[in-house]
Amino acid sequence: MSRELRHLIGQLMVCGFPSPDVDAHVQQLIREYHVGNIILFSRNIESLEQTRHLTQSLQQLAQETGQDDPLLICTDQENGLVSRFSKDVPGFPGNMALGATGDDKWAYRVGQMTGAFLALAGINMDLAPVLDVNNNPLNPVIGVRSFGDNPKSVAQMGVAMIRGLEESKVIACGKHFPGHGDTHVDSHTDLPRISHHLDRMKAVELLPFEQAIHHGLSAVMTAHIVFEQLDADHPATLSPKVLQGLLRETLGFTGVVTTDCLEMQAILGTVGVGQGAVMALLAGADMIMVSHHLDLQIEAMNAIYDAVVKGQLPLSRLEEAYGRIERLKTALHESVHESQDRLPLLQAKALDLQKDAAQHALTCLYDGSQSKTEPGVSRPFPKPRRVAVVFDTGAPQMIAAGPDAVHASLVQSIEAGLLGAEVRAFSESEALGDVEEVLHYDWLIYLSRTLGPIKDDLSLLLQAHPYAVVWLLRTPYLFPMFKEMGAKRIYALYENTPWMIQAALGALRGQSAWGSLPVQVKDYPRGYQGCVS
């Protein structure tokens, strides 16, 4: 009984490990604890070929240790700010950028191409798409990870991305049920609470999940959020009323429910990982995710074992969960372990998609240089010899994205698009302390990565420089404030990725920016375009 129970518990776990190799940590998880599902992060991924070798080695290890089913190997490849791809794989615009295109064909094509690279790497499950409706401008955890603030558009884009992923033989997992879009607290650091009534939730938060379920979504990830009108005492991850009542019975979901990582403070800092794992299974979750620390992974498995032995957790509940996971694995197509000969063609297609999607996503929100006789026509900036890049300070880290992009990488992206130009980075305080120096540069690019507020004295720079532009890398919601400050040109990039920076540089040289706002921003409606070039 003991060994069989240990094996069953391992099959319900989703665990991570720290190395790009099959290290002692993951060997112990698979050999001793029979863990059947693995999550990869950037720390595990160095190149496509290395990842392919890693996943094959993990599958072989599981097979050698007696696992009948293949491992589910998953990652958070949302694209945009949250990306686990290595640098040799072309990346793609994230959800809010795709929402700005206004056309779900881009979500489908990005999903399909993302799935193709994941499958080549041996990753058979993507913890995406984000189906949260971002209707809180101060949301620190979702924001541009969402397709927008319109539930129908989010649903349409989400369903298209799911279709693209699964056509490439990769399982899609919609998250974060029942919706993380209207919080101002990050569940990585605390336990958010939402007080909306069920009618409002049906119309907003639940609609994208309902549509995705209707179109055959295979897996759902839970949110560590208390929805007070559903269950005031438990976050969704630990709530039978949410997982069993709302998700299973009301929405009719029959697939696999995985928790978000139980090491997030919303769980770790309240009930703890061990008790959280037991409560999640009792609530109706099928897969228990503990992403990082071996001691906490073992704590979760031991807690589940003890709860079954003591009769607190029915064995039948574990068997039901395992049955769903096994059906998901049985339905898996073999990962596309194709010859590397196909890779150059796939990469070329991916780069074309990256460029096209970025240009259709880039949103010109304001251009004070537009001709009165030719409205909508943006005048190109003159070719620069020297470019000043000014970074805002105090930008909050998006924990799900990993370490914030360093200034050097952003400057390198700008240098790559302006060959021959001298590009110098200034912190906001450095620029404001030496305005005359910055004004001697041909262009001024201000990179906004914060959620607000904005320093008032920044207006001096933006008004005084004849070729100053503001790029909104983290949120479009600050647009009205920058316009009021006198910024002459403002673009929403929705992310700090090289492809969106290249699209924005192209716009300054006269190329088109076809995107429109996927969210309402103060007095500016969803769908707003400040200029069309």
Q: What is the CATH classification number for the domain harbouring 194?
A: 3.20.20.300
Residue linked to tokens 């319109």: 150
* DSSP H stretches of helix in 310-372: 315-331, 343-361
Tell me whether residue 527 is in a domain. Answer: no
- Say whether the peptide bond before residue 235 is cis (omega within 30 degrees of 0): no
Whether the per-residue pLDDT at 111 is higher than 80: the answer is: yes
Tell me, yes or no, whether 207 lies in a domain.
yes
Domain extent, residue 66, equals 2-341
Task: Examine residue 178 and state whether it is found in any structural domain, yes or no.
Answer: yes
Banded model confidence at residue 339, pLDDT cuts 50, 70, 90: low
CATH number at residue 498: 3.40.50.1700
Residues 277 and 421 in one domain: no
Whether 317 and 409 map to the same domain: the answer is: no
What are phi and psi for residue 137, nearest 5 degrees? Answer: -60, -25
The arithmetic mean of pLDDT across residues 127-148, rounded, is 90
Residues 310 and 399 in one domain: no
* Same domain for 306 and 259: yes
CB 202 within 8 A of CB 108: no
Provide the 8-state DSSP code for 296: H
**Across 390-406, average pLDDT:** 69
Q: Are 283 and 237 in contact (CB under 8 A)?
A: yes
The answer to whether 151 and 103 are in contact (CB under 8 A) is: no
- For the chain, what percent of residues have pLDDT higher than 90? 77
Q: How many CA atoms lie within 13 A of 34 on its CB side?
A: 18
Taking the alpha carbons at both ends of the chain, their separation in whole angstroms is 69
State whether 323 and 369 are in the same domain: no
Sheet holding 219-222, edge to edge: 256-258, 219-222, 171-177, 125-126, 72-75, 37-40, 13-15, 288-290
Please indicate, yes or no, whether residues 326 and 396 belong to a single structural domain of this protein: no
> Is 350 within a domain?
no
In terms of pLDDT, which residue wins out, 453 or 250?
250
Q: Mean per-residue pLDDT for 35-44?
A: 97
Residue 386: phi and psi, rounded to 5, are: -135, 135
Q: Report pLDDT digits (tens) over 214-224.
A: 999 999 999 99
Is pLDDT above 70 for 398? no
Mean pLDDT, residues 471-484 taken together? 93
Dihedral sign for Cα 309, 313, 314, 316, please: negative
pLDDT digit string (tens) for 44-68? 999 999 999 999 999 999 999 999 9
Same-domain status, 371 and 335: no
Residue type, 430: E
Residue 497 lies in a domain: yes
Query: What confidence category does residue 320 fall into, taking pLDDT thresholds of 50, 70 and 90?
Result: very high
Q: Assess whether 320 and 391 both reside in one domain.
A: no
What is the pLDDT at residue 399? 66
Beta bridge partners of 443: 387
pLDDT band for 184, please (50, 70, 90 cuts).
low
CA–CA–CA angle 517, 518, 520 (5° rounding): 75
Positions marked catalytic: 260
In a domain, 372, yes or no: yes
How many domains does the chain contain in total? 2
CA distance 257 to 285: 5
Residue 532 CB contacts under 8 Å (≥ 6 apart), including other chains: 364, 376, 512, 513, 514
Q: Same domain, yes or no, for 384 and 493? A: yes
Find out whether 36 and 13 touch, Cβ atoms under 8 Å: yes
Q: Which amino acid is at 470?
A: V
R_g over Cα of the chain: 24
Sequence-ordered alpha helix ranges (H) in 121-270: 151-167, 198-203, 206-214, 240, 265-268
Q: Quick check: is 257 in a domain?
A: yes
The tokens for 107 are 């979500």
**In terms of domains, do 392 and 436 share one?**
yes
Residues 258, 336 share a domain: yes
Instruction: List all residues 6 or more positions away from 517 whose beta carbon is below 8 Å from its beta carbon.
Output: 100, 363, 365, 476, 492, 524, 525, 526, 527, 528, 529
Same structural domain, 302 and 397: no
Q: Does the pLDDT of residue 148 top 90, yes or no?
A: yes
Confidence (pLDDT) at 516: 96
Does the pLDDT at position 374 exceed 60?
A: no
For position 373, what pLDDT does the model report? 43
CA distances (Å), origin 493, targets 169, 329, 382, 388, 448 = 30, 38, 21, 18, 10
Distance CA 498, CA 351 (A): 12
| Residue 355 belongs to some domain of the structure | no
Tell me, what's the pLDDT at 375?
Answer: 45
